[in-house]
């Protein structure tokens, strides 16, 4: 009977002590997002994930930036220029400020979250073409934004995890807390544009929405960079393939 609480304590300690040893400053990962229908690939957009240092008078934070840009052949049909950024503690990846700037066709939205971890609240500002909305949202401890959560996956010590181990996370998306689950599926060797890589295969699931479900392959080295991602869409599959990786920490 004591096993379960002990396991829970172990898991909790594991997630609390997850320190960033994988993500450094100046890292740039470039991906190609494509649509796969019965093996026929159609390139849709370029996704870049970049890190940089941001200095304020009090501290130096890590800026995590993700950018999605459709290829020029798509721009006349459906132009996407999405920007997600998160300013985090470089050691624990705790977010302080999050920005989401969405430009999809004629749709525009900007969302800003200012985290206050002491009071467990997030001040949100949502801007659309004509409206601005301010709202303060209560959060649980450990709730992060989507970008810092994505980077946090790389701080997990997969060598300590057995196949099938779950980790629960909470993200704040569209001013709502969304619970998700990461399952470690084991090691797999795959061919990528940056060479043949042994990877940790993980499954990401959301409890409330099926749109966030997917499988991710992280390299089984100290950097744990995502090299391949696969997610289900109504017809076919969406794929994220690495094109280049520069400025890696290890």
Partner 1 sequence: MKKLCTILAIIASVLAIILSVLPVSNLAIFPAIAALVFGILAFYLSKKTGSVKKIIQFTFLLTIIALCLTTYKAIFSEAKVANTEVIEATENKLEEEAIEELEGLEIDDSELEGLEIEE
- Which residues lie near partner 1 (CB under 8 A)? 24-26, 32, 37-38, 40-43, 46, 53-54, 56-63, 65, 67, 69-75, 77, 79, 81, 83, 85, 87, 89-92, 94, 96-97, 99, 101, 103, 114, 116-118, 249
Beta bridge pairs of residue 40: 37
Q: What is the CA radius of gyration of the chain?
A: 18
What is the closest distance, in whole angstroms, from the C-beta atom of residue 70 to partner 1 in the complex?
Answer: 8
Closest to partner 1 by CB, 7 or 59? 59
Nearer to partner 1, 35 or 231 (CB): 35
Q: How far apart are CA 83 and CA 103, in angstroms?
A: 8
Residue with Cβ nearer partner 1 (139 or 161): 139
Q: How far is the CB of 130 from partner 1 (least distance, A)?
A: 18
Tell me whether residue 97 or residue 185 sits nearer to partner 1 (CB atom). 97
| Shortest distance in whole angstroms from residue 222 CB to partner 1 | 13
CB of 38 to partner 1, least distance (A): 8
Give whichever of 25 and 193 is closer to partner 1, judged by the CB atom.
25
Question: Min. distance of Cβ 170 from partner 1 in angstroms?
Answer: 19
């Amino acid at each position: 009977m004591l096993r379960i609480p002990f396991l829970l304590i172990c898991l909790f300690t594991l997630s609390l002590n997850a320190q960033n040893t994988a993500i450094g400053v100046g890292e740039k990962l470039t991906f190609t997002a494509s649509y796969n229908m019965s093996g026929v690939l159609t390139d849709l957009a370029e996704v870049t994930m970049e890190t940089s240092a941001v200095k304020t008078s009090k501290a130096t934070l890590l800026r995590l930036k993700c950018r999605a840009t459709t290829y020029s052949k798509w721009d006349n049909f459906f132009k996407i220029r999405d920007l997600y950024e998160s300013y985090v503690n470089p050691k624990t990846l705790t977010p302080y400020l999050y920005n989401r700037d969405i430009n999809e066709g004629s749709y525009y939205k900007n969302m800003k979250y200012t985290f206050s971890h002491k009071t467990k609240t997030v001040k949100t500002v949502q801007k659309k073409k004509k409206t601005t909305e301010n709202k303060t949202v209560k959060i649980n401890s450990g709730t992060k934004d989507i970008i810092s959560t994505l980077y946090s996956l790389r701080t997990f010590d997969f060598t300590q995890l057995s196949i099938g181990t779950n980790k629960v996370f909470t993200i704040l998306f569209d001013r709502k807390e969304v619970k998700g689950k990461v399952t470690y599926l084991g090691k797999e060797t795959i061919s990528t544009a940056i060479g043949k890589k042994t990877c940790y295969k993980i499954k990401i699931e959301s409890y409330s929405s099926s749109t966030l479900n997917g499988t991710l392959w992280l390299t089984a080295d100290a950097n744990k960079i995502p090299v391949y991602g696969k997610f289900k869409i109504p017809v076919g599959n969406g794929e994220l393939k690495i094109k280049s990786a520069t400025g890696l920490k290890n």
